[in-house]
Chain A
Amino acid sequence: MKVSAIITLKKDVLDPQGKVIHQALDGMGFENINEVRQGKYFEIDVNENDPSKAKAIVEDMCKKLLANLVIENFKIIGTQ
């Protein structure tokens, strides 16, 4: 079963890459942007058919390696 997770920077953490992307988009004529924040997306194929068990495994991975909880939040966004 494939589990998808996204990792995003917490609100108070500076995201210089997001800022530069914002500026570039502005320069291209996309003028209606309030803010851009960059994050990470993972798609993990787990050897487990029970969605809640598969989610729990990926959650554990996020806590232990994929995210650094001092600066990042994670969210499991789907299973398939």
Chain B
Amino acid sequence: MKSSVITFPGSNCDRDMDVALKKFGFNNKMVWHDDNELPKSDLVVLPGGFSYGDYLRCGSMASKSRIMQSVIDFAKSGGLIMGICNGFQILVETGLVPGVLLRNKYLEFICKNVFVKLDNKENAYFKNINKDILEFHIAHNEGNYFCTKDQLKEIEDNNQIAIYYCNSEGKIQDQYNPNGSIKNIAGIFNKKKNVLGMMPHPERMIDQSLSGEDGSIFFKNLINNIK
């Protein structure tokens, strides 16, 4: 299975993602933001980091990079695209997934482990996964998901909410919402569910001795779904 990770100036989770994808069997290529064309891929990942120093709005400059036209075409043809953290911010700025990510409610950079609850397994990312609650890591300053009332209704009607912030038992409540996101939203899909944007980093949870293994569960399941 072939994957591509796009590196923007200021990306800093691109190599972590490369390690994670390779560990679970992807033949991964790193792609520079200024390239014209994506290599043939089964999965494209927009990694975390601080592309263009978060100038203007997080992800806004990267969303206009040369490679992004090819990424948008890939999404429109049904290709799988996953945006993690800054990658999620880039996805909302391209309009591939609805909404925006605002500054965290309490103006703090948040760096900690969180639990997320899967809402929807009818998609290539979470189909067949044997857990409903996963422990991932978050590290962001702008992860406060926001959308208009009309957008929220549309997102809910189409089952586009991918994961919610929750506690270890899967309770989705205000007190487990780290950043003020509407409805505790931690990740969402596009309408066709081939594009996934999420703030948590599964690539930071792939080694039992360093972190946890819920990222391993996620990536193993993902590659099996794509095969």
B107 located at the interface, meaning its Cβ lies under 8 Å from any Cβ of chain A in the complex: yes
Interface residues on B, range: 10 to 19
Contacts of A66 in B (CB 8 A): 56
Contacts of B57 in A (CB 8 A): 68
A20-B107 contact in complex given A65-B56, A65-B60, A68-B60, C-beta closer than 8 Å: yes
| A-B interface pairs (CB < 8 A), number | 32
A17-B93 contact in complex given A65-B56, A70-B148, C-beta closer than 8 Å: no
Alpha-carbon gap, A68 to B148, bound state (A):
13
Q: How many residues of chain A have a CB within 8 Å of chain B? A: 10
Which secondary structure dominates chain B's binding surface? loop
A78 located at the interface, meaning its Cβ lies under 8 Å from any Cβ of chain B in the complex: no
B99 located at the interface, meaning its Cβ lies under 8 Å from any Cβ of chain A in the complex: yes
A13 located at the interface, meaning its Cβ lies under 8 Å from any Cβ of chain B in the complex: yes
Cβ–Cβ contact B107 & A68, under 8 A: no
Contacts of A56 in B (CB 8 A): none
A39 located at the interface, meaning its Cβ lies under 8 Å from any Cβ of chain B in the complex: no
Cβ–Cβ contact B56 & A70, under 8 A: no
B103 located at the interface, meaning its Cβ lies under 8 Å from any Cβ of chain A in the complex: yes
Q: Using A14-B146, A16-B105 as known contacts, list a sample of 5 further A-B pairs with CB atoms less than 8 Å apart, ordered by residue number in A.
A: A20-B107, A65-B56, A65-B64, A68-B57, A71-B102
